[in-house]
Amino acid sequence: MPDTTIEKSSASATEALQAQRDLQLFYLFSTTLLSTMQLNKLLHLILSALVCEDNGLFCRAMLFLYNQKTDMLQGMLGICRSNTDGFRVVFSDPDNPLSGYWDLDADAIARQMQSDLCLKVRETRIDLSEGCRIVSHVVENKRLYRINDVECLNCRDCDFISRFGISSFVAVPLVTRNNLIGVIIVDNPVKHQPITDQQLKVLQLFANQAGMAIENTRLYRNLEETHNELQDTRQRLVHGAHLAAIGEMAASISHELKTPLITIGGFAARLGRMLPENTPQRHYLDTIISESHRLERLLGDILAFSRKPTICFQECNLRGVVKECLDDYVVLLGERKITLETSVPSGSWTVLGDSNQLKQVCINLLVNAQEAMPQGGRLQVGLRAGGDGGRPCAVVSITDSGGGIPEELQSKIFTPFFTTKRHGTGLGLAIVNRIVQNHGGSLKVFNTDDGAEFQVILPLAPFDDPQTA
């Protein structure tokens, strides 16, 4: 009788310790899911919590997210116990033991992403109509299943079972509001330890919370994207209103300004021809002529920028446009003691656009680079293949050695009327940026070791491959 009492007490103590341990795990898991709104990091934290040695649950975990359009499970992440270095408990408040949560740094996440298991998982797609019968059954019923080695052996022809060398495993669906999000698969492939009923309970509770956390993270990301789109739309509306005001102003005063400017410049040029060189009077007239020409260019830039652009889309050879601009400026660059280095490989480099406007882009950037090197320097012009959002693109790069652009100004240089030059209009780069965007491309700027690099990224015409042309 005493022995029985001792055994019962021991069993009760063991159960109490297990319950306390499980409660601690649930608490840490809950606080961890609230610690980040980054979906990628969240997925790494969920699987790491399932396989880390301290938690003593499983040796390997794989996550597949459901693609509703294709009715397939898409492999996203795979982590085994040996890849959980860096997974640790941190405290937001060192004095508060309840402020702890699991965390992973960026390096640990990168190592997990590059592991053999993760790469294999990311290459895996499970067709729910024709793929693994067992996994499809889990998805269809939306409930946890434990699959033993006999069932796996009967399914040995299944690509999923053979691909990962699975002998027995547990699959638990991630469900929120009765909608399938994905499936987590766990097993113990090395030690072949059986998965206990207690571990299944923990896994099910983890999966319930993980499904809601993933869905919340997705909703937050969608909300953030929508907010950014609204911000962009608002900025475009403000910008459009600004341009409309400029257009009205420019149209109303262009005639009044342009006619007297031409008259002043013309008569000043006539007077200049009547006066001898190197006299104060000739110097004054030359200044009048120069300033009138500058004002004409300023007015022209304002009119050009305020007008609604019209693009005549047709196939044009971007390499030809770049070469033509370089031919026009090579002499001037030599006079300014600027060394020109080019890397413009042969090929069709066909883009859809307006060749005249694309030439204006190149000329404006060449002039901008030349003005950044008043004492001379090195100008590099290149053309290469690239990608932008999965599209094949051509990248025109123009790099100077003029000292670069301060980081605090890089976000402002494409803003209309922003300039750091004494005689600039602040419209040159704004016009370039608008032309590039109207061609479906993008304009980027980077600082180099001794200057700045502008990249014009334009989508290539369909079926055009410069590397094989």
Of residues 216 and 254, more confidence is placed in: 216
Percent of the chain scored above 70 by pLDDT? 86
Q: Is the pLDDT of residue 168 over 70?
A: yes
The predicted-structure confidence for 238-263, as pLDDT tens digits, reads as follows: 766 776 676 666 666 666 777 787 78
Measuring CA to CA, how many Å separate 375 from each of 1, 349, 463? 102, 34, 44
DSSP 286-327: HHHHHHHHHHHHHHHHHHHHHSPP----EEEEHHHHHHHHHH
* pTM beyond cutoff 0.85: no
The predicted-structure confidence for 394-445, as pLDDT tens digits, reads as follows: 999 999 998 888 888 887 888 777 777 766 667 778 888 888 988 889 999 9
Q: Torsion angle of alpha carbons 357, 359, 360, 362, nearest 10°?
A: 130
Separation CA 416–CA 406 (nearest Å): 18
The predicted-structure confidence for 362-385, as pLDDT tens digits, reads as follows: 998 998 898 889 898 999 999 998
Q: What is the pLDDT of residue 366?
A: 92
* pLDDT tier, 94 (very low <50, low <70, confident <90, very high otherwise): confident
The first and second tokens of residue 295, run together, are 């004002």
Is 94 exposed, middle or buried (CB count within 10 Å of its CB: 0-12, 13-18, 19+)? exposed
DSSP 133-186: HHHHHHHHHTS-EEE-HHHHHHTTT-HHHHHTT-SSEEEEEEEETTEEEEEEEE
Do 372 and 409 meet the contact criterion of CB atoms below 8 Å apart? no
* pLDDT tier, 467 (very low <50, low <70, confident <90, very high otherwise): very low
**Amino acid code (one letter) for 88:** R
Domains of the chain: 34-195 (3.30.450.40), 226-306 (1.10.287), 314-459 (3.30.565.10)
Q: Is the pLDDT of residue 5 over 70?
A: no
Closest of 292, 305, 307, 308 to residue 258, by C-alpha: 292
Round the average pLDDT of the chain to a whole number and report it: 83
Q: What is the pLDDT of residue 157?
A: 61
β-pairing, 338-343 vs 377-388, is: parallel
Q: What is the pLDDT of residue 406?
A: 85
Lowest mean pLDDT among 38-47, 281-290, 451-460: 281-290
* pLDDT tier, 307 (very low <50, low <70, confident <90, very high otherwise): low
The predicted-structure confidence for 111-160, as pLDDT tens digits, reads as follows: 999 999 999 999 999 888 877 788 888 888 889 989 887 777 676 667 78
Is 213 exposed, middle or buried (CB count within 10 Å of its CB: 0-12, 13-18, 19+)? buried
